[in-house]
Structure 1
């Protein structure tokens, strides 16, 4: 899905100026999937309480994907309310994506994202409309694992090295 950058807001209080979205996008594309990339999914429980869990994520064609077992708290939360955040530390930038996560079941996308995971060292394979592997993170639950795509409408970034800065980016579907 193509997203159009609608607005960049400078959040930096030290005068460094706004960060370009290209910096965050380059970090996303070069930083995933890697086992050492810290990535946390935030969801909302049906009673309104927050929930966070580490996930293994991947970037493909400008979209961000992650896996989760159907019985996990995060999957059950997303089934009721797809609103979520994805917080991650990438090379030179902390990034938070806000949007909605929806399950992906089309075979071409499953195949491509599974290949990305395999290239990173996780031996994921497509099994019907989900992914399987000999192992996964404890927080993923038992296989099969559903694949989710996050459609983000807002992102926040903080530069961790020169040039420093902080920005909020807003997007719409192109």
Structure 2
């Protein structure tokens, strides 16, 4: 889905080369499943005010997934307006992903992502119909069941936090 970019824009004001999307993608693949990588989801409330909350996200097969209880503010916001950003600090890279988050109900995908959560992060998610259950989740996740969301990326931008530096925006087709 995001293997190729339609447009790369170098934002660096100091002459550094544009960062490569493959670097960001590979870091997401390697680091997203660890419990030490904090992701922050930003949505818009119905009255237009922003809402930001930490989430447990998984990057799998070039797609970002996360879970949320149906009654949580983030799920209610996404039901009204799927536009969102997700921010994450990866090794050597601060990354912001922009896109639309939609609920996943396909049981095959739910099974694959539940397995990924179990194997990579240790969260014992199981598919229960078109949602997940587990003995526990994040304190702000709401009670089970939890919905799985897939983020359809429109753009991303990153700032390197190590030498030689760089800042880049990518737009996806």
Do they fold alike, i.e. is TM over 0.5?
A: yes
State the match for 2:57 in structure 1: 57
Within-5 A mapping of 1:20-31: 20-31=20-31
Q: Partners in 2 of 1:73 and 1:31 — Cα distance?
A: 27
Within-5 A mapping of 1:43-82: 43-82=43-82
Q: Secondary structure at the match of 1:22?
A: helix
Q: Partners in 2 of 1:133 and 1:11 — Cα distance?
A: 42
- In structure 2, the CA distance between the partners of 1:2 and 1:21, relative to structure 1 (3 Å rule), is closer
Q: Partners in 1 of 2:168 and 2:10 — Cα distance?
A: 5
Per the normalisation by structure 1, the TM-score is 0.96
Q: CA deviation at 1:2?
A: 5.3
Q: Partners in 1 of 2:91 and 2:133 — Cα distance?
A: 29
Unaligned runs of 5+ in 1: none
- CA RMSD, 1 decimal: 1.0
Q: Secondary structure at the match of 2:33?
A: coil
Q: Partners in 2 of 1:33 and 1:94 — Cα distance?
A: 17
Q: CA deviation at 1:91?
A: 1.6
Aligned residues: 172
State the match for 1:160 in structure 2: 161
Q: CA deviation at 1:163?
A: 3.2
Q: Partners in 2 of 1:33 and 1:89 — Cα distance?
A: 13
Unaligned runs of 5+ in 2: none
Q: Following superposition, which runs of at least 4 residues in structure 1 exceed 3 angstroms of deviation?
A: 1-4
Q: CA deviation at 1:3?
A: 5.5
